[in-house]
A and B are shown apart, each in its own frame.
Chain A
Amino acid sequence: MKWIRVNMSDLSIKVEEAPKKYEQMGGRWLTSSVVADEVPATCHPLGPLNKVVIAPGILSGTTAPSSGRISVGTKSPLTGGIKEANAGAKFGQYLKRMGYSAIIIEGQPKDKESRYLLNISKEKLELVDAAEYRFMGLYELSGKLASKYGKDAGIASVGPAAEHLLAGTGIAFNDIENAPARYAGRGGVGAVFASKGLKAIVTEAVTGQAAILNHELFETGRKKLLAALQEHAVTKPKGALNTYGTAVLVNILNEAGALPTRNFSRGTFDGAKKISGEAMAEAAAKNPKAGMMGHRCHPGCVIGCSVIYPDAQGKSHTSVEYETLWAIGANCEIDDLDAIAQMNSMCNDIGLDTIEFGDAVAVAMEGGLLPFGDAKGAIALLEEVKKGSPLGKIIGSGCGTVGKVFGVRRVPAVKNQGMPAYEPRVIKGIGVTYITTPMGADHTAGYSIAPEILGVGGKPDPHTNEGKVKLSKDFQATTCFIDSTGCCVFTAFAILDIPSGFEGMVEACNAVTGANWTTSEAYEIGLNVLKMEHQYNLSAGFSANDDRPPEFMKLEPVPPHNMVWDMADSELDSMWK
């Protein structure tokens, strides 16, 4: 296995043979392992000792379906713990086809104003002066880089908010049409990338297939995974994700009384239908020139859950996702789909994580900075973030910072990371995931919503605590493995109900790595990654007291179910025993 090591202190680039222990790793397994091995747990996240590790998954760059995820690992400036965030993009597919399994960015230039671009092609690796792109919005940057490096090149870039080193920022990967819309969004990975003096990384467009050791086994595995994805009602062509996008969830979470509304003070939103996947599908059908359902984030995705939403002026917005519609919509009591889409595009442009931004604005609304429902006021705040004004910096630092500045006690965060779009007092399993994942509140870490609300992979009662630690643990461990394969986490919906799909995924991984894993061993690999991440956080100074919900969730019943968080702390602690 080869990786690229870039030292931003002396601007050196080396191609190294990775030590043998990393040989079979990819994606999150690889990023978390390198962070655990090379980044001192107590270092400052924005200092020279932190590193950014970018790794495509084991299957990325192959023809395995929906396998184009790219992982970014670092020590998070938002949580202070280990972080992995991933996105679906052609960037990592190209990297893997060039024979590189990771990029490790370390050090820091002395001149904080300097900016560089890392150009990775088959012919050469080079750091190029990028001063001209300093504080440039990412739509403009994508256009300029496409002109210079080709429209099909892969791009990873950070926006002005990340250059202001704000903890609520991500790294944008460009999509097939070159929009900077696929985000490794959470935990401030954008700020760490920017702290290295990097504005962008470009990968040359490379066709073909990444290296495979056993082609026959790969084909067997690929076909089994593909069959499961094409058969399951959720992931199949013209299935729910393909037809309505991820925002098909808005109405079901609202009907479940678990759509966090008005800064987590209610579980239902009167404007839910206006910001739903059904509403976007209707708009896209009316204006097919500007809108599209079933859009794909990377070549080879067979699910196609991305959405290009056309606003009333005919402007296209890629991609308007459930979490964004919830965070900026229901959580801020904004029911104007066009305004949310506009803010989504602004977040893409300046480099903000839409979940953390929505949580931050909702807390600011509670603190009296602006009224709930004030879309214009929220847009004005995004302009402040872009400028880097003191108020903008507060908003861009996440909901925890906003809560402290405005004296708000109802801050929906764990490990200082804002909660996503599911009310944990009502859906207990996802609460366990938010609270215990080493990532800080993160739904993708262990998506127990699938069985608890959607009836995928079982049907446990969402309102009860019984069995939820085990449920979350199983989801978290399996997700760690899937995040290491490069497969989209949405493949889980199919393989939860169709076991041969998971067998196929593992067989394809065996064909690439030369391993001989069973599905049980794949689970164990994921569990060990999870434990390693937890251990890193302990070394960084975390304790069991960081695996706790915000206090208000124990004290304030949330209507309409009027439930509180009532799981014993000792039960949460059993996650790691």
Chain B
Amino acid sequence: MKITVALYAGLKARALAPQGASEFDLDIPEGSKIGDIIKLLDLPDDEVANIFVDRSIKDREFIVKDGQRVAFFPLIAGG
């Protein structure tokens, strides 16, 4: 199945992203958890702090469904 991945605030440089893209489609096996995608992309696990799936906060155990948008952030703040 296919999902959309978005990488922000420096994570794209730390991942197996196609040509350093910050947003791209990704084929993953059915039943994949967020944690599996982090491994698949070789993202630095300890640096991934916030994950959003279709605009809502999720954790590494969440099972992603076909067509969903998954966004990864390191620890950031501002205001």
Interface residues of A (CB under 8 A from B): 233-234, 240-241, 243-249, 251-252, 255-257, 267-268, 273, 277-278, 305, 322-323, 443-444, 447, 449-450, 453-456, 459, 461-463, 489-490, 493, 560-561
Specify the chain B residue showing the minimal Cβ separation from A235: B77
Q: Do B79 and A252 have beta carbons less than 8 Å apart?
A: no
B8 to chain A, nearest CB (A): 5
Q: What are 16 A-B residue pairs whose CB atoms fall within 8 Å in the complex?
A: A233-B49, A240-B9, A241-B76, A244-B76, A249-B78, A252-B52, A256-B52, A278-B8, A447-B79, A449-B79, A453-B50, A453-B57, A455-B50, A459-B57, A489-B79, A490-B79
* Nearest CB of chain A from residue B25's CB, rounded to whole Å: 17
A335 CB to closest chain B CB (Å) equals: 16
Q: Which of B8, B10, B57, B79 has the most CB of A within 10 A?
A: B79
B71-A247 in contact (CB<8A) = no
Say which residue of A233, A241, A267, A561 sits within 8 Å of B78 (CB atoms): A241
User: Shortest Cβ distance from A339 into chain B, in angstroms?
Assistant: 21
Chain B residues with CB below 8 A from A449, complex form: 79
* List of A residues within 8 angstroms of B8 by Cβ: 251-252, 255, 278
Cβ-defined partner of B76 (8 Å) among A249, A462, A560? A249
Please give, as numbers and ranges, the residues of chain A lying within 8 Å of B6 by CB-CB distance: 251, 255
A447 to B79, CA, bound (A): 8
Within 8 A of A (CB), among B2-38: 6, 8-10, 22
- Which residue of the partner chain, among A277, A444, A447, A560, contacts B9 with CB atoms under 8 Å? A277
Give the number of A-B contacts (CB < 8 Å): 95
CA distance A277 to B57 in the complex (A): 21
B35-79 interface mask toward A, CB cutoff 8 Å, 1 = contact, 0 = none?
A: 000000000000001101011110000000000000101111111
- Pair A246/B78 contact, Cβ less than 8 Å: yes
User: Are B79 and A246 in touch, CB under 8 angstroms?
Assistant: yes
**13 new A-B contacts at CB < 8 Å, known A243-B9, A255-B52:** A241-B76, A248-B9, A248-B77, A249-B76, A251-B6, A252-B50, A252-B76, A257-B56, A267-B55, A455-B50, A456-B75, A560-B54, A560-B55
Q: Pick the contact of A240: B54, B57, B74 (CB < 8 A).
A: B74
Binding site secondary structure of chain B: loop
Residue in B10, B74, B76 with the greatest tally of chain A CB atoms within 10 Å: B76
Task: Contact check, B52 vs A240: say whether CB atoms are below 8 A apart.
Answer: no
Complex: how many Å from CA A317 to CA B55?
A: 32
Contacts of A443 in B (CB 8 A): 79
B residues less than 8 Å from A277 (CB atoms): 9, 78
Residues of A within 8 A of B75 (CB): 233-234, 240, 454-456
**What A residues does B22 contact at CB under 8 A?**
273, 278
Q: A248-B9, A267-B55, A455-B49 are in contact. Are A444 and B73 (CB under 8 A)?
A: no
Q: How far is the CA of A490 from the CA of B77 in the complex (A)?
A: 8
Of listed B8, B52, B73, B77, residue having the most chain A CB within 10 A? B77
One of A233, A278, A322 near B79 (C-beta < 8 A): A322
A-side contacts of B79, CB under 8 Å: 246, 249, 322-323, 443-444, 447, 449, 489-490
Question: Are B77 and A454 in contact, CB atoms less than 8 angstroms apart?
Answer: yes
Q: A268-B55, A277-B9, A455-B50 are in contact. Are A255 and B71 (CB under 8 A)?
A: yes
Q: Among the listed B54, B55, B77, which residue makes an inter-chain contact with A241, where contact means beta carbons less than 8 Å apart?
A: B77
Q: Do residues A257 and B55 form an inter-chain contact, with CB atoms below 8 A? A: yes
Q: How far apart are the CA atoms of A489 and B78 in the complex, in Å?
A: 10
Q: Do B50 and A561 have beta carbons less than 8 Å apart? A: no
Q: Which of chain B's residues have a CB closer than 8 A to the CB of A247?
A: 78
User: Is the Cβ of A248 less than 8 Å from the Cβ of B55?
Assistant: no
Chain A residues positioned under 8 Å from B54 (CB to CB): 560
Chain B residues closer than 8 Å to A450, beta-carbon distance: 77
Q: How far is the CA of A463 from the CA of B56 in the complex (A)?
A: 9
